[in-house]
Structure 1
């Protein structure tokens, strides 16, 4: 069974990316596409697997192909198995023609830099209330993504200072926070020392001190 990735993209638009529709339209015989294969009853309790399929036919948005990966744990599919799917099932593309592959790449801003955020924002129990940017933590050479310097606090109306300070904080990608509340996205390029607090009457963020 092939997964429909669109609900995931809708719920996580800043961390889960699907191919541009213009690239999907160009997929044809000989190209490779990545699909997410869901486990069936035959597979037991194993995770879904993302695997490459070589396209062998296309008619409109319907495609046929052959599995071009050896599954890690799934037993319901095997290398070379025929696969039927739609273009909206595709999560990645490798064009057979490398020059064509490059010509259809459309860069999109990705928010992988890290930030410190209240857990209540991540679990959806509070909206973003206060954002401020400090000097980024330099981290370690092995860190995959750098610190952005952003600190994000959840709505603290009705809480004591002690309750606010006692909140659990998490160190995550900016995109994970934006998936939950992107109302402050327009501020994300503000520099070190910036501090903004939400005016709950208007819903807008105002610079602290204004």
Structure 2
């Protein structure tokens, strides 16, 4: 076989705040005739390829054992054909046609944005964060630093990106306890305790007038 099905459970474990997995309530609703989306991986090497998400129509179900037919024409996987029989389990289902009430929990993680330094994303580590007044509905007001940036880097906007807050939570979700705190506020990591602590003496006057 020149292809395989990806595990959405593994992907969600790696990125719990940005990779949606259908809830058990939705999986329990699935029946013959329903459409589900699976991620197909190719054993062949393709440039800039990380899997094809395609719809499969369920033709049989016995508990968690599903059989279906491929409802899309693959672009990269030559050994797969439209209408081909596919056997799968809930572990392979990344989406359905049903409205999932639990998916709303992901809306905040996807839609709300933070500003991060490039160094945070390169290191996958952050140790200082500050919250200014948000500029719009999507903006959280948070700016996040690794703590290793040079002063010159912080003065150059090219060294920062706007990303979904879920990406940061995938790195360290211990900040959930205070991400809704009202601005102006700042937190830094206490390396001895391994936790974030509030910076009560942060110089907001210099920041705001700088």
TM-score, length-scaled by structure 1: 0.79
Determine the structure 2 residue equivalent to 1:30. 33
Q: Decide which of 81, 91, 113 is 2:94's aligned counterpart.
A: 91
Determine the structure 2 residue equivalent to 1:77. 80
List gaps (5 residues or longer) in structure 1.
95-100, 139-144
Higher helix fraction (1 or 2): 2
- How far 1:164 moved relative to its partner? 7.0
Change (3 A) 1:81 1:11: same
- How far 1:204 moved relative to its partner? 3.0
TM-score, length-scaled by structure 2: 0.79
1:207 aligns with 2:207: no
List gaps (5 residues or longer) in structure 2.
202-210
Q: Decide which of 128, 141, 146 is 1:149's aligned counterpart.
A: 141
1:108 aligns with 2:105: yes
Change (3 A) 1:45 1:198: closer
Q: Alpha-carbon deviations, 1:77-118, whole Å to 9, x = none?
A: 222111111121100112xxxxxx44x532314312221112
Determine the structure 2 residue equivalent to 1:178. 169
Aligned-residue CA RMSD in angstroms?
Answer: 2.5
In 2, Cα distance between the equivalents of 1:205 and 1:38?
A: 39
Quick check: 1:35–1:53 contact (8 Å CA) kept in 2? yes
Determine the structure 1 residue equivalent to 2:132. 134
- The count of residues paired between Structure 1 and Structure 2 equals 191
- Which of structure 1's runs of 4+ aligned residues deviate more than 4 A? none
